[in-house]
Amino acid sequence: MITDTIKKFVSRLFSPAARGPQRIGPDKHGIDRRNVSRHAIKVCEVLRQHGYEAYIVGGAVRDLIVGLEPKDFDVATNATPEQIRPLFRRARIIGRRFQLVHVVFGQEIIETSTFRAPASENQETDEHGRILRDNVFGTHEQDAARRDFTMNALYYDPHNEEVIDFHQGVADLKKRQVRMIGDPAVRYREDPVRMLRAVRFAAKLNGTIDPATRAPIGTMASLIENVPASRLFDEMLKLLTCGHAMDCLRQLRAEGLARGLLPMLDVVLEQPGGERFVELALERTDARVRAGKSISPSFLFSALLWQQVDSRWKQLRAQGEHNIPALVQAADSVLDEQTEKLAIQRRFTSDMREIWFMQPRFERRLGKTIYRMIEQPRFRAACDFLQLRAAAGEFDSVLAQWWMDLANGNDAIRAEMIDELSRQPQTASEASGLRKRRRKTRRPSAPRAEA
Q: Report the catalytic residues.
A: 72, 74, 148
CA atoms 159, 57, 345, 92: torsion sign: negative
User: Which residues lie below 8 Å from residue 242, measured CB to CB, with a gap of 6+?
Assistant: 200, 203, 204, 248, 289
User: CA separation (Å) from 194 to 149, 214, 216, 272?
Assistant: 9, 11, 12, 33
Q: How many CA atoms lie within 13 A of 49 on its CB side?
A: 9
Are 262 and 340 a contacting pair, CB within 8 Å? no
In angstroms, the CA 94 to CA 320 distance is: 53
All residues at 6 or more sequence positions from 10 whose CB lies less than 8 Å from its CB, including other chains:
none
Residues with Cβ within 8 Å of residue 405, at least 6 apart in sequence: 413, 417
- Residue 11 contacts by C-beta under 8 Å, 6 or more apart in sequence? none
137/139 Cα distance (integer angstroms): 7
Neighbour count for residue 283 (Cβ, 10 Å): 13
SS3 (DSSP) at 324: helix
Helix extents (H) in 291-345 = 297-318, 323-339
* Residue whose C-alpha is closest to residue 257's, from 218, 313, 206, 291: 218
Q: In a 3-state reduction of DSSP, which class is residue 111?
A: strand
Q: Are 249 and 236 in contact (CB under 8 A)?
A: no
131 near 190, Cβ under 8 Å? yes
Sign of the CA dihedral running 420, 423, 428, 429: positive
Angstrom CA distances, 258 to 42, 131, 248, 255, stand at 41, 23, 10, 8
